[in-house]
Every structure is written in structure tokens, then in C-alpha cells.
């Protein structure tokens, strides 16, 4: 009993102490959690905004007018006037002679080697030649073309390179265009008096011959047409896939190198039936698309070199004009005996019938182009058939006495472009008077353009009195004639 009483008193004592402790501690009251605090303010209604009147635009001053980015199309050549293009070359300015520079000190250990010198021919190895440990000759031979070979291990490589990376030199010729629309022509004149490839720069009006330096694709350029030294430039042809694509041009005239890209026109060998049998021809077309205008090119009864004729047709096709050329009758024999103007006119008429029936041309876009001594035959062929137009390019190689009389010229009732060029345009003044009378009085659709050739003195001296192929290839006559043909309705 005594023990139970002590436990009860102990429990009461601890309870009193716990209550006293709880009352002595003050805790802050627990408030509900804040969910959102919103500041409500009264917003006044927006006032209507009245726009300010726009100020009147100030008149544009006359000096602020600029040329449009895209120039307007060139106006067509007038049919009732004679256009004279003054392209006479300006006389060169006389520059003061340069001061003599002091001669550089002699260098006995340096020997100047001319780029035109070649290595001696490769010597044949002697039967008793000393061999290396691997059984191959110890000597290494350097061929003239720059190929280094040593025994069978190099002969295999040379054969592979020759089979898969060899291009015909004929691939080098063509029209090449730079980024600034500068046309550089490579002409295959190896079978002419030049004897080599020619390079003509349409910008600088320079004509040079190319000399093979080393290998097959590197040529040097001399200071003039027939001089090879000192070397003033180089041409390195570059290939892409299976054809020559461009070349690297480095000259003393330009401070930077140029990389002209070749314009690959479409060419194919064709044949047509002529009065004297089958006639072989070459058909050249622009690089892309169909429906281009086309011409039969008549260069005269003489037997011209195919490489020079091809250079002319490629120029026409580069400007968007298809061209068909054929070898005059009698030029394919061992002893060339070209036919006269009458036979040439008959073959030209047959060539035109073939061109007009070609699916890529059509009769409404086919014409005849007479160049130089081929103009009389072209005029006669126009009377034998019905071309859409006629281009008569009168050059220095044609004499005024070779032209038809007034009656024949009056019978031309089709559009005719009389392109009078060369260095002796004054001799055509009587013919121009006749053509102007037929145009003004008898309403003949004649367009007369007098375009004196703008050629450098070195080109004049290199071409001779009756040679004008380089002018036809390089000058802007093709572009002028194509714009006239495209403007016909």
C-alpha cells in the first residue's frame, strides 16, 4: 500500500512539472499559408490616339537618280540607217624611256637557263650496265617530257598514265571565258603558216604562238607572234574527267593569274547529198538547249585549214548560233583544185536544205553566212533556196569587183546584214551607196554596219594582207550578228 502511494505521488509530481513547463514557453500562433498576393488597382480607360498627318514627300533631286543594277536590253539595229562603229585603235602613248638600272653584281655560281632549252635525248642503257642490289639499273633517266622512270616499276606507271590521262592536242583548242567575261581563244593553227597553237586575248588584242615547254600540257608565251624569248607568260592546261576543262594563264601583262573555263560546244560530223555526191560537213551547236538559230557558213572557194574554220564556228556557237560548214568541192584531193563560185553556191544550197530539215533548227530559223570570199557564193545560194536571213561579212580578203551587180543585189528580198569590217573599209563606199539606195528607195530589208577592225600592229603584221581568220574568231562580230538574228521577227 505504501509502495502504490509513492508511485501515485511521483506521477502527479511529474504531471505538475510538465504543465508548469508548457505554460512557461510561448509559441507564435500558426497562420494559414499565403496562396496569392494580388495588388488590385483601378486602371483608367485608354484615351483614343489621333494619328499625326504624314508629311508630304520631298521632291527627289535630279542628281540622286542612279543607273539600274540590270542594264536595259540593247536596242535593235536600225533597218533604215547605216551604223558605223568607230573601233579604230588609239595611237599608243609615248612613255619616257626608263632610267637605266645599275647592273646586278656578278654571281659566278649562278647559271641562267633558258626555258626554251631542252634536255638531251635519253641515252640507251648499255648491255654491261652496272645493276643495283635489287637487279635494277643504278642510273635514273629523265625523259624530255619530264617523266622520271627507273626500270619496270616506272614503265607500268607511264603506261597507265598514258592510257587514262592522255588527251589529244586537239582538245586544247576552243573558246575559254574568264570570270570578267573576257574571251581567250586557243586556235589550232598547226597546219598553217603559224605552225603552232595560237592564243588570242580579246581584251589586250594580243596574238601569240604557244611553244611546248615540257610535258604535254605546259606551254610558254613569247613577246611577239614569232619570238619565243624572253618568255613573257605560260599556259598550263588542266583536265577534268575526260576532256580539257580550263587552263592557267600567267603573263607579264597581268599581275594575277587567270583561270579561263572552256566553253564546250556540241560538235558532230555529218554528211548530206550534194549535186556532185556525198558531202562531208561539221555541225556545231551551242552548249545547251535546242531551238537555236543556225547558219551555213561559206568561207570561200579556197581550201582553208579545218582548224581555223572550226575556231570560227565555235565562236558562233559560243554566242548561241548553230553553224554548219563543209569542205569545198575539190579540196579533199591529193592535189587540191577548188571549184568555182557556181559549184560552191550549189553545195551551199544543199547544205542549207540539210540544216533547215534538222530537228534542232527548223526552216524558220535557218540562214546563210557568207564570210570574205564566200559572200558571192552565199548571195547566189540565197537565190537557189529560201533562207530566213542572210549575213554578208565583207573583209579585206574580198575585192569590190568580186561582188554581184546592182540587179542581183536588188533581187534580195530577205533580211540581209551587211557587216563591213577589216582594215580597208573605205574601199566599200561605192557598194554602201548602192545598198543604201536599195534600202531607202526600193525598201529592201538591209541592215548596214561598218565595223573597222580594231587590231594591234603585231596582229596586222602576222596575218598578212589577205588573212582575216583571227579577226573573225576574236572580234565581237559574232555577238553583233547573233543579236541582229535574234531580233528578226
The pLDDT tens digits for 190-224 are 888 888 898 888 777 788 899 998 778 899 999 88
**Predicted local distance difference test score (pLDDT) of residue 260:** 92
pLDDT for residue 211: 93
Kindly indicate the confidence band of residue 154, based on its pLDDT and cuts at 50, 70 and 90: very low
Does this model's pTM top 0.75?
no
The per-residue pLDDT of the chain, averaged, comes to 75
pLDDT at residue 301 is higher than 70:
yes
pLDDT for residue 41: 60
Q: What is the DSSP string of 281-338?
A: EEEEE-SS-S---EEEEE--SS---HHHHHHHHHHHHHTT-EEEEEPPTTSSSSS---
The segment with the largest mean pLDDT, out of 89-103, 332-346, 375-389, is 375-389
C-alpha cell at 321: 548560233
- Looking at residue 86, its pLDDT comes to 63
- pLDDT for the residue 143: 41
The phi and psi torsions of 372 (rounded to 5 degrees) equal 60, -125
Percent of the chain at pLDDT exceeding 70: 66
The pLDDT assigned to 152 comes to 43
Mean per-residue pLDDT, 337-353: 89
Maximum CA extent, the chain: 168
Q: For position 94, what pLDDT does the model report?
A: 46
pLDDT of residue 49: 65
What is the pLDDT averaged over residues 260-272? Answer: 91
Strands 277-285 and 266-274, how do they pair?
antiparallel
Q: 265-486: which CATH number, 3.40.50.11390, 3.40.50.720, 3.40.50.1820, 3.40.50.300?
A: 3.40.50.1820
Q: How many CA atoms lie within 13 A of 346 on its CB side?
A: 12
Cell of 178: 574568264
Least confident of 23-27, 126-130, 256-260, 323-327: 126-130
* CB distance 150 to 137 below 8 Å: yes
Tell me the C-alpha distance between 247 and 218, whole Å. Answer: 9
Instruction: Give the rounded percent of residues in the chain with a pLDDT score beyond 90.
Output: 28
Which span out of 26-40, 71-85, 218-232 was modeled with the highest average pLDDT? Answer: 218-232
Q: In whole angstroms, what is the distance from residue 11 CA to residue 418 CA?
A: 139
Cβ 229 vs Cβ 116: under 8 Å: yes
Distance CA 391, CA 418 (A): 6
CA angle (338, 340, 346) in 5-degree steps: 105
For residues 331 and 438, the model is more confident at 438
Range from 86-95, 259-268, 319-328, 448-457 carrying the lowest mean pLDDT:
86-95
486 pLDDT band, cuts 50/70/90, is confident
311 closest CA partner among 301, 325, 300, 296? 325
* CA pair distance 316, 481, nearest whole angstrom: 9
Burial of 476 (0-12, 13-18, 19+ CB in 10 A): middle
Domain ranges of the chain: 169-261, 265-486
Q: Which of 147-161, 304-318, 336-350, 470-484 has the lowest mean pLDDT?
A: 147-161
Q: Is residue 230 very low, low, confident or very high in pLDDT (cuts 50, 70, 90)?
A: very high
For residue 147, count other CB atoms closer than 10 A to its CB: 16
Q: 178 with 204: CB under 8 angstroms?
A: no
Whole-angstrom distance, CA of residue 239 vs CA of residue 221: 20
Please state, in angstroms and rounded to a whole number, the distance separating the CA atoms of residues 332 and 196.
Answer: 22
Comparison of pLDDT for 57 and 196, the residue scoring more: 196
Q: 316-325, 428-437, 450-459: which has the minimum mean pLDDT? A: 450-459
Q: Which of 32-36, 385-389, 399-403 bottoms out in mean pLDDT, i.e. has the lowest? A: 32-36
pLDDT at 326 over 50: yes
**Set of cell numbers at residue 121:** 635525248
Task: Give residues with Cβ within 8 angstroms of 246, minimum separation 6.
Answer: 176, 237, 238, 240, 259, 260, 261, 262
Among the ranges 77-86, 238-247, 388-397, 465-474, which has the highest mean pLDDT value? 388-397
Per-residue pLDDT band at 322 (split at 50, 70, 90): very high
Say if residues 80 and 438 touch (Cβ distance below 8 Å). no
Spatial distance between the Cα atoms of 267 and 393, rounded to a whole number of angstroms = 23
User: Which of the residue ranges 2-6, 42-46, 133-137, 172-176 would you say has the lowest mean pLDDT?
Assistant: 133-137
- The DSSP output letter for 231 is -
| Residue 451: cis peptide before it, omega within 30 degrees of 0 | no
DSSP-derived 3-state class of residue 250: strand
Residue 402: predicted pLDDT: 92
Best CA proximity match to 315, nearest among 394, 367, 369:
369
How far apart are the C-alpha atoms of 372 and 385, rounded to whole Å? 21
**Average of per-residue pLDDT across 223-238:** 90
pLDDT in tens, 60-78: 544 434 333 333 445 566 6
Stronger pLDDT, 51 or 10, i.e. the higher one: 10
pLDDT score for 451:
85
DSSP state letter for 55: P
**What cell numbers appear for 189 in the block?**
593553227
Consecutive H or E run containing 233 = strand 233-240
Amino acid at each position: 500500500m505504501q509502495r502504490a502511494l509513492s508511485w501515485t505521488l511521483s506521477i502527479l509530481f511529474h504531471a505538475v512539472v510538465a504543465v508548469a513547463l508548457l505554460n512557461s514557453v510561448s509559441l507564435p500562433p500558426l497562420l494559414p499559408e499565403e496562396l496569392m498576393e494580388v495588388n488590385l488597382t483601378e486602371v483608367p480607360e485608354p484615351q483614343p490616339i489621333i494619328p499625326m498627318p504624314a508629311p508630304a514627300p520631298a521632291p527627289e533631286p535630279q542628281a540622286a537618280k542612279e543607273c539600274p543594277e540590270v542594264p536595259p536590253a540593247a536596242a535593235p539595229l536600225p533597218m533604215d540607217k547605216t551604223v558605223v562603229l568607230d573601233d579604230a585603235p588609239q595611237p599608243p602613248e609615248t612613255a619616257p624611256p626608263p632610267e637605266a638600272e645599275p647592273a646586278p653584281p656578278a654571281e659566278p655560281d649562278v647559271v641562267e637557263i633558258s626555258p626554251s632549252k631542252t634536255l638531251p635525248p635519253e641515252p640507251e642503257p648499255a648491255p654491261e650496265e652496272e645493276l643495283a642490289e635489287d637487279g635494277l639499273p643504278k642510273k635514273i633517266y629523265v625523259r624530255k617530257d619530264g617523266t622520271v622512270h627507273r626500270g619496270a616499276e616506272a614503265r607500268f606507271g607511264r603506261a597507265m598514265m598514258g592510257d587514262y590521262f592522255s588527251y589529244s592536242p586537239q582538245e586544247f583548242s576552243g573558246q575559254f571565258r574568264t570570270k570578267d567575261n573576257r574571251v581567250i581563244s586557243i586556235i589550232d593553227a598547226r597546219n598553217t603558216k603559224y605552225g603552232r597553237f595560237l592564243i588570242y586575248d580579246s581584251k589586250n588584242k594580243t596574238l601569240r604562238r604557244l611553244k611546248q615547254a615540257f610535258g604535254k600540257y605546259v606551254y610558254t608565251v613569247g613577246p611577239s607572234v614569232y619570238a619565243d624569248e624572253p618568255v613573257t607568260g605560260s599556259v598550263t592546261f588542266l583536265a577534268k574527267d575526260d576532256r580539257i576543262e580550263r587552263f592557267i594563264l600567267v603573263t607579264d601583262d597581268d599581275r594575277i593569274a587567270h583561270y579561263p573555263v572552256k566553253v564546250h560546244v556540241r560538235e558532230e560530223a555529218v554528211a548530206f547529198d550534194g549535186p556532185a555526191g556525198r558531202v562531208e560537213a561539221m555541225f556545231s551547236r551551242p552548249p545547251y538547249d535546242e531551238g537555236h538559230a543556225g547558219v551555213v557558213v561559206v568561207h570561200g572557194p579556197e581550201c582553208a585549214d579545218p582548224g581555223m574554220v572550226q575556231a570560227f564556228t565555235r565562236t558562233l556557237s559560243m554566242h548561241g548560233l548553230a553553224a554548219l560548214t563543209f569542205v569545198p568541192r575539190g579540196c579533199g584531193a591529193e592535189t587540191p583544185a577548188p571549184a568555182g563560185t557556181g559549184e560552191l553556191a550549189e553545195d551551199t544550197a544543199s547544205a542549207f536544205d540539210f540544216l533547215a530539215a534538222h530537228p534542232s533548227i527548223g526552216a524558220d530559223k535557218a540562214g546563210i553566212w557568207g564570210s570574205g570570199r564566200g559572200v558571192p557564193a552565199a548571195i547566189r545560194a540565197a537565190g537557189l533556196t529560201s533562207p530566213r536571213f542572210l549575213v554578208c561579212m565583207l573583209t579585206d580578203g574580198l575585192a569590190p569587183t568580186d561582188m554581184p551587180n546592182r540587179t542581183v543585189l536588188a533581187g534580195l528580198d530577205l533580211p540581209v546584214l551587211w557587216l563591213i569590217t577589216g582594215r580597208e573599209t573605205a574601199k566599200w563606199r561605192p557598194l554602201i551607196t548602192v545598198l543604201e539606195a536599195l534600202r531607202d528607195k526600193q525598201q529592201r530589208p538591209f541592215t548596214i554596219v561598218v565595223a573597222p577592225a580594231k587590231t594591234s600592229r603585231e596582229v596586222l603584221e602576222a596575218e598578212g594582207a589577205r588573212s582575216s581568220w583571227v579577226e573573225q574568231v576574236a572580234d565581237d562580230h559574232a555577238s553583233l550578228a547573233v543579236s541582229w538574228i535574234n531580233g528578226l521577227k
